[in-house]
A and B are shown apart, each in its own frame.
Chain A
Amino acid sequence: MSTITTPAPKKVNRIGLEVLNYKGAKTTLCAGCGHNSISERVIECFYELGVEPWRVGKFSGIGCSSKSPAYFLNMSHGFNAVHGRMPAIATGAIMANRNMLGLGVTGDGDTASIGIGQFMHLVRRNLPMIYIIEDNGVYGLTKGQFSATADLGSKLKTGVINDLPPFDCCALALRWGATFVARSFSGDKKQLQALLKTAIVHNGLSVIDVVSPCVTFNDHEGSTKSYSYMKEHETMLHELDFVPSYEDISVEIAEGEVRDVELHDGSHLRIRKLHRDYDPTSRLGALHALENAEKNHEVLTGVLYVNTEKPNFLEMLHMVEEPLATLPEAKVRPTKEALDEIMEELR
């Protein structure tokens, strides 16, 4: 047996980086936590699309979900902000550097309770960024209290029944201005990948609410955010395929079977019909479908709404092309003549 081996060539993406370059620190979340699956999808998607990791800004608030940005994309700057107020930090950072690809990760407590105000205003502004809600219906870090997305009648481990209706973050997002709104399940690898990749190239606010079971505090009988509940109640709206801009898309599409959404950078989202007709460009249709699903105890997953036309917040600000953060002094400090002119007016 020879002792000399030739190492297999390292697998790299189109910008020459290995998947290792997209990883983060070792997770400290519970084994089996849905959030870890989502982190893995993030790593895969950013690697596969060949996104330059240093162009990404990771943002989070406070909670189990908000810890996860430390567990992926080590080569990206990250900002773990205060509870419920990640949107403000992200808004400021993205205004300062419009080339930054913003990736926000938050939870249902962070978004739907303390942060509902900032979430709604982020939605209203349609700030171009990815906003993932890791939704498990409970506060994990404080040991299992209900959050505002817990379903009416769902049960805590202690037996307490939730008697308030939930906020549906997807309904809020699509009604008030987000331009890519989806729901998924942390256990659905293929769907979540297609959604994340779409969000990466979408030129507006992408809100992805991912049901992500909490194995420690909300995975029991009576929970509506458990693995078993999702297995029984998840209803996929369609099958999704993401075709990146740099790939050949000249594949024949059968009429009526597939809806093709062309995205900002020339990528395509292929939406293949399953059991029902669903038009993800109709806001009213989406709200209607969510309303019906709630009545029927279904969890609709897939693309709920997509709008590739609406201007985003950065476009409305009419800023120069280069990032504000690095403008040279000559661009940001008016001349002495300008000051003299102002002084003269005030005499």
Chain B
Amino acid sequence: MSTLEVSPAEPRFSEPGHTVVNDFSIQVATVNGSGSQTANTVLMRSIFQMGVPVSGKNMFPSNIAGLPTWFTIRASKHGYIGRKKEIDLLVAMNPETAREDVTKLDSGAAVVYDEPLKLDTLRSDLHFYPVPFDKLVAPVCPDAKLRKLVRNMIYDGIVAWLLSIDMDEIRQALVKQFGKRKAKAADLNWGAAQAGYDYAAKTFTKSDPYQVERMHENTGKIIIEGNSACALGAMFAGVTVVTWYPITPSSSLVESLIGYLKRFRIDKETGRATFAVVQAEDELASIGMALGAGWAGARSMTSTAGPGISLMSEFVGLGYYAEVPTVIYDVQRVGPSTGLPTRTMQGDILSTALLSHGDTQHPMFFPCSPEECFTMSIEAFDFAERFQTPVFVMTDLDLGMNNWMSDPFPYPDKPIDRGKVLSAEDLDKLGSFARYKDVDGDGVGYRTLPATNHAAAAYFTRGSGHNERAQYTEREDDYIHNMDRLAHKFDTMRKHVPAPAIQYREDAEIGFIAAGTSHYAVGESCDQLRDQYNIPASYFRLRAYPFNAELVEFIQRHERVYVVDQNRDAQLLALMRLEMAPEEIAKLRSIRYYGGLPLDARTITDEVISQEGR
């Protein structure tokens, strides 16, 4: 017996002839391991090729095969690429979730489904398109073993017919997906898509309003995952030592990097690598190696997710205190503990800012897009060496593992900045140096690299108490002096971290503060508040920690400021509270989402309206 609720019998169809162009979301529900990724990527890419702004989000299980997975494609003529809460077209391929998926739909949505599931009996206010997938796949795929993988391509053809997607674009996307070397596979899949299209054209009468029309918004744009963008950033930043331990959702960052390094960082004269990559035994080792390499002068990095960050805590404290540069990518996922390894969250902000015992503070960069993954990576490597400290690049699963449209990345316009490093020639002039002395007043000392060919180059690096000359000390005055200098160094960073992106709206009483992938939902929510509620809202997109003076100014200029957090405990807000004055704290309000899915605009808008008492 089904426990599902049956909807009202009255259908709420739109008027005949009414169309909704380039403004809808498609959800494809499949079983993971069934080859649906190809079909979904091709569908998304075909809409992209038609010039319509599009985004794709994969909601997948922590499992190799057999569990439910959903892929959402959103097309938006307005350029909104955050997740849309409402689903307009469901492709129901998974018998296990189909009934619940259908029940959740808003009235008027369309459903393409596997005919034997008989979903049309569940509701009468939806547009149903039953498809006999097994019957259609047999003739186009004689090899029974491959049918499971090819079967999903049929819905691409069906959807193409329903939405008026040009089949040539499907064909082109397939070729892109499989490349020239796998032409046979591309042909097989093309046959399936074609069969789907023909079946739909012959069988269905279109009753839903959704449609794709060609636009020209995507000229020159690329499609890329945030993890690959970070990898490219690291490579163009000149990374030389990469250490890592596999963990979802960060593994593909280093795997992508390895691929690029092998192509672009083999010395042409010698055929040898200008990099070293080590898969370490655990995150304790990967951060240790990254710090060892950074200490010795390499541009080093490691990449991980929350559980790895927890493990790295002790070493990161050493990096802070001994002042060793390295870059740490945190592709955040849902915690605590193992949590939901394949869902997204901004869950490590507070713990990372203050990671490790004693008084510690770490700079964090918050890219919101693949382009920022690239540019901020380059900035992060310079920053780590400039300030001689571990720098965290905080992305999340949504940004890291999903496909995003992006402008092509700009080639770095500044040379690499290696920070304050004394060479043998410098030492000849100076005679000696004190590693932790604040010579320039910015809190940053001068370092030498090990194996510098000079008798005065050496100093001793330690996590125990040390004075300006890096000698062991337990003296009260030495300790306080050093800790105050580190605090001063952190203050200096405020002026050098990536600047915030601020949009002041005239007459806005309220403002938003958000970071990273919250951007898309917040931007869209600002439009919803303006268009639907006549509430203007300013928006401060935080791009880094430590905060700077503009943040305080933004809060002061508004009556109420909503801090958006993708976590339960309002971590970003909590971090602000640590350094804000009481009158600023009094203005802060919290909007939190922590369900593991990419944040959507409606959730924010509804919450603002509720808190505003409207």
Which positions in A face B, CB cutoff 8 Å? 21, 25, 52-55, 57, 69-70, 74-82, 85, 87-97, 99-100, 117-118, 121, 317-321, 323-327, 329, 331-334, 336, 338-339, 342-343, 346-347
Contacts and interface: CB of A to CB of B under 8 A. Distances in A.
Contact of B300 (A70, A96, A326): A96
Contacts of A92: 241, 243, 288-296, 298, 300
Contact of A332 (B274, B276, B280, B464): B274
A347 B222 contact: yes
Nearest to B455: A75
Contacts of B298: 92, 95-97, 324-325
A97 B297 contact: yes
Given A89-B295, A92-B292, A324 B276 contact: yes
Given A54-B452, A338-B264, A339-B236, 8 more contacts: A21-B455, A88-B315, A92-B290, A321-B272, A327-B274, A329-B416, A332-B238, A333-B238
Contact of B221 (A57, A88, A318, A347): A347
Contacts of A74: 458
- Contact size class for B? 35 or more
Contacts of A94: 292, 296
B285 A96 contact: no
B224 A346 contact: yes
Contacts of B464: 80
User: Interface majority SS on A: helix, strand, loop or mixed?
Assistant: helix
Interface of B: 220-224, 232, 235-241, 243, 260, 264-265, 267, 270, 272-276, 278, 280-282, 284-300, 314-315, 318, 322, 408-409, 411-412, 415-416, 448-455, 457-464, 471-472
A347 B219 CA distance: 9
A325 B296 contact: yes
A319 B454 contact: no
Contacts of B300: 92, 96
A121 B238 contact: no
Contact of A93 (B285, B287, B293): B293
Given A324-B298, A332-B240, A338-B264, A96 B460 contact: no
Contact of A118 (B284, B291, B448): B284
A54 B455 contact: yes
12 contacts: A57-B450, A78-B459, A79-B292, A82-B288, A87-B285, A96-B294, A96-B295, A317-B273, A319-B272, A324-B298, A325-B240, A325-B293
A324 B240 CA distance: 6
B284 A100 contact: no
A228 B240 CA distance: 50
Contacts of B267: 320, 331
A329 B415 contact: yes
Nearest to B462: A80
B222 A343 contact: yes
**Closest 10 CB pairs between A and B?**
A88-B288, A92-B292, A325-B297, A96-B298, A332-B238, A92-B289, A92-B293, A96-B296, A77-B450, A346-B222
Nearest to A329: B416
Contacts of A80: 460-464
A329 B385 CA distance: 15
Given A82-B315, A82-B463, A95 B457 contact: no
Given A78-B460, A93-B295, A85 B274 contact: no
A95 B285 contact: no
